Structure 1
């Protein structure tokens, strides 16, 4: 009996669903563990954020395909920072930024945890996307670092996406605004409130 050849991995694409680049398809490398946010989930997320992306300063942690950050820029975000550990994926995001002739985006090739550990520039973000690889226990440490290194201001919005069996703990001052289950994935949008002094 012949052994079946393993299927070759093939590259794909992401589609920008609205804004100035509506309908544009951009290539995505087939990188292990990369899960580009589906159009269905992305439509939900940006319906939630419809009034908030314009002029926002955006952080796309675990950027992967860069889909969420690029969609934000299409919807007139002021600036987007993409954090991606995989070199191939980071290079592809950079190429897609160049394809769209964007001068208000930067790609940082490092781990999200390493990036979030220090906030030397005393920089804050209006919208943060946290969509870490599943089953790696990365979500909670990132949430803690966003708070402890002061990456957020009192009205920052934080979008998180995680596997439904996970039980992450979120900071007490994060108010849940929206929640959706899509198959094996849970999506939540939080508004960061002030930290209560003890």
Structure 2
């Protein structure tokens, strides 16, 4: 059972597709993640308040919907799985956020052009497929990510951190800055400034 933890839709149950293909971020993990975003020196209430949030590999949309409940202005969701898209659309409708959400049924590594960049980006891709860097590069090249945006990336705890293959000598102004990391069970969240 997945629910929204805090804010205007606190307690709202979210629909999740049956099976193991979609793995919604657990309530307690989302609570810990949003607590960190709100209280870290690089975060704070303004990180979420009235932000445009991008939830890539959205699944049920739990991360983007949690951000909306906590004051974000708009959420854009990328998802390709039909069962996950059905659950995501049902969750948006149940929360009555049709006007505040955009659902893009497209692979996030091949996004359309955007003129509405996001300041907070959630990436929860399938594990062990080296998708975070590819997805972020594609999103940045198509205008989806605002300057100095914060990216929250979920990977398996045994996977190397995203961008860890970068040689120190080849770091550029476009290389994300590592801010924090937390492990919760089999999942690891790393936070980056883009």
TM-score after normalising by structure 1 = 0.82
Matches within 5 A, 1:1-198: 13-50=1-38, 51=45, 52-102=47-97, 103-115=99-111, 118-119=112-113, 121-167=114-160, 168-169=162-163, 172=171, 173-192=175-194
Unaligned runs of 5+ in 2: 39-44
User: Matched residues in 1 for 2:152 and 2:81: separation?
Assistant: 21
Give CA-to-partner distance per residue, 1:28-53, whole Å, 9 cap, x none: 11244211101222012111222121
8 Å Cα contact 1:16-1:25 kept in structure 2: yes
* Matched residue SS, 1:85: coil
* Matched residue SS, 2:158: coil
Q: Report the count of equivalent residues.
A: 177
8 Å Cα contact 1:58-1:127 kept in structure 2: yes
8 Å Cα contact 2:14-2:60 kept in structure 1: no
* Matched residue SS, 2:110: helix
User: Matched residues in 2 for 1:109 and 1:151: separation?
Assistant: 15
Q: CA deviation at 1:86?
A: 0.5
8 Å Cα contact 2:119-2:147 kept in structure 1: no
User: Matched residues in 2 for 1:83 and 1:96: separation?
Assistant: 14
Q: CA deviation at 1:190?
A: 1.2
Between 14-23 and 179-188, the greater mean CA deviation after superposition: 179-188
8 Å Cα contact 2:52-2:120 kept in structure 1: yes
Unaligned runs of 5+ in 1: 1-12, 193-198
* Matched residue SS, 2:48: coil
